[in-house]
Amino acid sequence: MSGEARGIILKGVGGLYSVYSEGRQYECRLRGSIRLGGISPVTGDEVFLSVTDEHAGTAVIDRVAPRRNSLVRPKTANVDRIALVIAAASPAPDLLLTDKLLVTAINAGVEPVLVINKADQDENAARGIALQYKEAVSCHIISASGGDTASMAAFFACIDGMTTVLAGQSGVGKSTILNILTDGAFMSTGSISEKTLRGRHTTRHAELFPVSGKYVSKPSFVIDSPGFSLLELGGMEPRHLPGCYPEVYNYRGECRFQDCSHTGEPGCFVTGLVEKGLFPRPRYERYVKLYRELEEKEKNRYRNRKG
Ligand SMILES: Nc1nc2c(ncn2[C@@H]2O[C@H](COP(=O)(O)OP(=O)(O)OP(=O)(O)O)[C@@H](O)[C@H]2O)c(=O)[nH]1
Ligand SMILES: [Mg+2]
Ligand SMILES: [Zn+2]
């Protein structure tokens, strides 16, 4: 290979990037100029590289191609889908975190799917969660450790031909899902996870894997990512929140006030839906909570600017 080649970042750890390009993997560093420019490539980024040693498989990343989209958490770029994975019962599902992840996905233009894993723990709880999100996102109830099922096949069919990032709390089964999709090829290498003191494997870095085999018919990629339990909605303005709730923006224009925040104004169509039991109350209450949080943050930003 000579001149500049195109590749995709599989993972980046401590300034060293693994890049897949033209059928092989290169270990790369960044050219100083990008480092200085403040752009740090992330998993899923398309990059241009110059090979420094073909035999050793080393190269330098010259620049990062413009991104189609990017997510702050998990830190990735150019993904088609984000699969938000939660467990039916354990670890206890954090639905506020799930809501925030949905908001960030929709805001970034990435299509979310909700995967409720570990249905074997509590099938009823899984169904109850799915009901809350019925109008918000497509939902799959699976049991990754329970083998081949129709629901698993339905989930895999919706990520066929896509680049999908698996995201969610630690221990919900993201790596287990990746492992099924890759026939165990990656888990066994131990490269993606580390054993914790309690003997569990926990993922340390976002890493992209090609997927092929019986579950997908087209070239597909999956990014496994470390679990997390905290997420900030960043500098989002409260007025942008309704646009990130399908069950709210599907009814835009129906409220008495055009700029209705749907948090208690008179003549609000959305709260009417809640009263009639058509918008699940717990999800609506979390919406109001997030709205108030964003309002508070906006006030603080304003105060800081003034002071
Ligand atoms: N009961 C049950 N356990 C499961 C299921 N899927 C995965 N597990 C178990 O849940 C534990 C955690 O699974 P992982 O795949 O490592 O979870 P993870 O989301 O990758 O966790 P992090 O890497 O820490 O973010 C493992 O012991 C799995 O065997 C399931 O469907 N049912
Ligand atoms: Mg993992
Ligand atoms: Zn309203």
Domains of the chain: 4-64 (2.40.50.140), 70-224 (3.40.50.300), 238-306 (1.10.40.50)
Vertex 169: Cα angle to 240 and 129 (nearest 5): 70
Q: Is residue 94 within 8 Å of 61, Cβ to Cβ?
A: no
CA 134 to ligand 3 center in whole angstroms: 20
Q: Which of 145, 181, 204 to mutate to test the pocket of ligand 1 (most atoms within 8 A of CB)?
A: 145
pLDDT of the residue at 214: 85
Query: What is the residue with the minimal CA distance to atom 15 of ligand 1?
Result: 173
pLDDT tens-digit series, residues 278-302: 999 999 999 999 999 999 999 988 8
Q: Atom 21 of ligand 1 has which residue's CA nearest to it?
A: 171
Tell me what pLDDT residue 146 has.
86
Distance CA 9, CA 21 (A): 9
* pLDDT tens, residue order, the chain (307 aa): 457 899 999 999 999 999 999 989 999 999 886 665 677 899 999 999 999 999 999 999 999 999 999 999 999 999 999 999 999 999 999 999 999 999 999 999 999 999 999 999 999 999 999 999 999 999 999 999 987 788 999 999 999 999 999 999 999 999 999 999 988 776 644 445 566 655 678 999 999 999 988 899 999 999 999 998 989 888 899 999 999 999 999 999 999 999 999 999 999 999 999 999 999 999 999 999 999 999 999 998 888 887 6
Q: 208: closest CA among 193, 192, 230?
A: 192
Residues having CB within 6 Å of any atom of ligand 1: 117-118, 120-121, 143-146, 170-176, 201-203, 226-227
Q: What is the pLDDT of residue 48?
A: 95
| Residue to mutate, 73, 155, 176, ligand 1, most ligand atoms under 8 Å from C-beta | 176
Calpha distance 72→235 (Å, rounded): 12
Q: What is the pLDDT of residue 189?
A: 41
Atom of ligand 1 nearest to the CA of 227: 25
Give the per-residue pLDDT at 2.
Answer: 54
Looking from the CA of residue 178, the nearest atom of ligand 1 is: 15
Cα atoms found within 13 Å of the Cα of residue 207, Cβ hemisphere only:
20
Ligand 1 center to 20 CA (angstroms): 28
CA distance 73 to 296: 22
Question: What phi-psi label fits residue 78: left (phi over 0), alpha (psi between -120 and 50 degrees) or beta?
Answer: left
pTM above 0.75, yes or no: yes
Which pair of structure tokens corresponds to residue 240? 């942008």
Rounded to the nearest angstrom, the distance between the alpha carbon of 255 and the centre of ligand 3 is 5
**Token digits for 251?**
């009814």
Kindly report each contact of residues 31-37 with a partner whose C-beta sits within 8 Å and lies 24 or more positions away, as own/partner. 31/60, 31/61, 31/62, 31/63, 34/61, 34/62, 34/63, 34/64
pLDDT of 98: 98
Q: Which residues of 120-131 are buried (b: 16+ CB within 10 A; e: fewer)?
A: eeeeebbeebbe
Give the Cα separation of 82 and 74 in Å (integer): 9
Give residue 188's pLDDT: 43
One-letter amino acid at 250 equals: N
- CA nearest to 130, candidates 120, 139, 121, 122: 139
